[in-house]
Amino acid sequence: MQLAAGQLQAHLQKGLRPLYAVHGDEALLVDEAADAIRAAARAQGYAERTVHTVQGAHFDWSAVLAAGQSLSLFADRQMVEVRIPSGKPGKDGSAALQQMAEAAPGNEGTLTLVLLPRLDKATRTGAWFAALEGAGVTVQIDPVERAALPQWIAQRLAAQSQRVQAGEAGQRTLAFFADRVEGNLLAAHQEIAKLGLLYPAGELSGEQIEAAVLNVARYDVFKLSEAVLGGQRARVQRMLDGLQAEGEAEVLVHYTLAEDIRALKRVKDAVAAGRPLPMALREQRIWGLRERLFERVLPLLTEVQLANLLHAAHQVDGIVKGLRHPGWPQEPWQALHRLAQSLCGACGAPRQQGR
């Protein structure tokens, strides 16, 4: 049985299954889901808990199997928690997990909780994960994307009986809050909790939030691609400043920007040669949110623009490696800012009729 994170609480209120597997990379949300399962289990008499963390290729799975088959002298119900940080249980682990899944329905005294990172499609369709899903419940924890972050913050504030102002002023406040905590959901949770300690229930002003919320944003260089292709100039500026402050390598930032330009050029050329756009995107391994961004952006870009952007990326590659180019900043980060804003501007420009 598969569940989304938002369905878990309603499911737990109806009763427990003998086995749960929670998978995702967002540590805060994974922990909250696991805590909800543990709390429901304790309420139903699962008083004892053992934790096994799978590390290395030679992990002893026999201890995990034994824990699931034997009850303590002091409790007639127990939780067995198996943490697999790598998401790769190995051959022995795969067999053990399938054995645990097979035994779970008949083992009424044991509730098994398996914690995993985000899993790719191949792993989710593998034998051991399919066994867990068939015997119990799998809960997929998806990240909170930037576009959904203001609403997520508003929901968390509401849970502690606080809210922002209504209308446009409140939306600006939530956007400010999201900018300060982007990429760092645990810190966002802590900042929201801090507001609950600083101010009483009710409406929070923009000034109160601006005074209280720290700038704890953490930027992922691969998220930069989404901001650039989305034409989000201000966000691109913040992300580049943040990446520079965090000591990110200039060469990795350049690779991200240059690869987007090269991919846009390859897809544009393939479509011009008669390839259907969906096929051209698949051939370049572009899917998900990036696929939607490419579909929006490609009609905006001309061959001349892409050629100029490709040339600019080549020049910035030299600057990042210590070369100089006339008309370009000598400092690598300044050159990266210019390249990113050039691509961002081209991706965000409205389509001009008759040109």
- 314 is a domain residue: yes
CATH number of the domain to which 206 belongs: 1.10.8.60
- 125 is a domain residue: yes
Whether 88 and 185 map to the same domain: the answer is: no
Whether 333 and 303 map to the same domain: the answer is: yes
**Which one of 87, 115, 140 terminates a domain?**
140
**Which one of 187, 212, 237 terminates a domain?**
212
Residue 112, strand partner residues: 19, 80
Token pair of 14, please?
A: 């109806």
Whether 225 and 184 map to the same domain: the answer is: no
Whether 119 and 231 map to the same domain: the answer is: no
Number of domains in the chain: 3
Q: Which residue has the tokens 């992990």?
A: 59
What's the domain range around 310? 221-348
- 281 is a domain residue: yes
**Which one of 166, 183, 212 terminates a domain?**
212
Exposed e or buried b for every residue in 220-236, given b needs 16+ CB within 10 A? ebebbbbbbbbbbbebb
d(C-alpha 231, C-alpha 346), whole Å: 8
Whether 193 and 168 map to the same domain: the answer is: yes
CATH number of the domain to which 277 belongs: 1.20.272.10
Predicted TM-score (pTM) of this structure: 0.72
Whether 127 and 187 map to the same domain: the answer is: no
Whether 6 and 136 map to the same domain: the answer is: yes
Q: What are phi and psi of 276, to 5 degrees?
A: -60, 140
- 158 is a domain residue: yes
Name residue 336's amino acid.
Answer: L
Whether 14 and 121 map to the same domain: the answer is: yes
Which residues lie below 8 Å from residue 101, measured CB to CB, with a gap of 6+?
19, 128, 131, 132, 134, 135, 136
Whether 136 and 155 map to the same domain: the answer is: no
CATH number of the domain to which 7 belongs: 3.40.50.300
- 355 is a domain residue: no
- 181 is a domain residue: yes
Token pair of 251, please?
A: 């060469």
CA distances from 351 to 319, 340, 348 (A): 32, 20, 9
pLDDT in 10s for each residue of the chain, 355 residues: 889 888 999 999 998 999 999 999 899 999 999 999 999 999 998 888 889 998 877 788 888 888 767 655 455 788 999 999 988 888 889 999 999 998 888 777 889 999 999 988 888 888 999 999 999 999 999 989 889 999 999 999 999 999 999 999 999 999 999 999 998 899 999 999 999 999 999 999 999 998 888 888 888 888 899 999 999 999 999 999 999 988 999 999 999 999 999 999 999 999 999 999 999 999 988 988 889 999 999 999 999 999 999 999 999 999 999 999 999 999 999 999 999 999 999 998 554 433 3
- 22 is a domain residue: yes
Predicted pLDDT of residue 72: 53
Whether 115 and 100 map to the same domain: the answer is: yes
d(C-alpha 141, C-alpha 128), whole Å: 19
Whether 264 and 322 map to the same domain: the answer is: yes
- 296 is a domain residue: yes
Whether 229 and 174 map to the same domain: the answer is: no
